[in-house]
Structure 1
């Protein structure tokens, strides 16, 4: 059961980077663009935002349920960066929800700037978070270590490139294979981390009885999550397909 749940956790985390990565990348690309172009960019990613955020919620649930012994060392050891990432997530989503609530270019430009700022904080924060997790959050100041900062810059650039590939795919100028490849590249840092951390994670899984209960309660709903993702991508895969008006 331990290998199964490690695989589930890995798929969820990789899926988050490959999917939510282009949302954050598009948010980063909003900076400095004319209003009409920003509107088109937000409309392109709008159908996918909420579905992609589900992956992060599932990652957090899997972390708490499958690796309860790591919750304290990792989250509390990385408390500052976790707070920054959560606030960035809130700011980014607030920008998406409020940008069209009132008319006027200044109002929309203000919230678009917050979308970019929140996307930057969330994307960059993954670097220190991944590095801190690699040292189990136990080293004092590990979250601001130069390696973590450099990794944050790498993740930010990868997400930005992934967002560019996604916009090209939505516009019909890039093939789906190109988008899939950019998603794999965006997830490369977390793939490397999981490969290095597999022995440690296997040693810190929950007891078999807990994993059995989780399997009974959670795995039956996995097809629903997968089906919803497939529906979203099939519905909005074509260039010019309708987007939710509330973004």
Structure 2
């Protein structure tokens, strides 16, 4: 059971980086892809149907940690608390910007929400890189510092942005699409870039997790026997819903959404 729990933890963590990385990366580049209010609405419409479903994978990661690896979860929360604050703050700010963008009074409000989406997306990406820097450098239970932490955070954020660009080339139309395609390059098919960055982003939490030895911090067998079958059922539902959403919104966006 502990092996299955570990596999689920890896799946959820990698799933968040790959799936949420697409909407976070696109949000990071909102000022570049959308130069006027209409273009920015189109860019937001490209990832708006996905971001809530993608966030579920991060919640599931935290749930598996708390339920199946409680000792590890407590140690990580305590040791990485300074890193989790900007990550959660970025998450909240970005979601507030998305949810309230179409509900405020006028153009200035929407511009402020666009800033919140961009700033929150950058905070999420940089904090994720900072969080990964600690285990990747062999000190997983305290925040990484110095040039290594800065370089890792910037590299991971750049990877998020590249992933968002690949996603944008599959979803956008018109001038925003041309801007994304210009940076991605015109060699090969549009999905090649997204596939490459998905592999790289999905591998990051696996590489970082290998230094944590979560198997040695697993809950007692009775708890795992109770939780793992439930988690397997939840996972099947999550995958099914995710596949349905991506199929439903598989076409390129041609008009703004309600956001």
Aligned partner of residue 237 in structure 1, secondary structure = coil
2:131 aligns to what? Answer: 129
Q: 1:167 to 1:138 in 2, by over 3 A?
A: closer
TM normalised by structure 1 equals 0.89
Cα distance per residue 1:145-196 (max 9 Å; x no partner): 43222211111000101101101011377544542332222333223223x3
Equivalences for 1:1-247 in 2 at 5 Å?
1-32=1-32, 33-133=35-135, 135=138, 137-139=140-142, 142-171=143-172, 175-194=190-209, 196-197=210-211, 200-240=213-253, 244-245=257-258, 247=259
**Distance in 1, Cα, partners of 2:219 & 2:152:** 29
Indicate conservation of the 8 Å contact 1:73/1:136, yes or no: no
Q: 1:36 to 1:244 in 2, by over 3 A?
A: closer
Aligned length: 242
Unaligned runs of 5+ in 2: 174-180, 182-188
Return the offset for 1:76. 1.0
TM normalised by structure 2 equals 0.86
Unaligned runs of 5+ in 1: none
Q: 1:240 to 1:138 in 2, by over 3 A?
A: closer
**Distance in 1, Cα, partners of 2:141 & 2:241:** 38
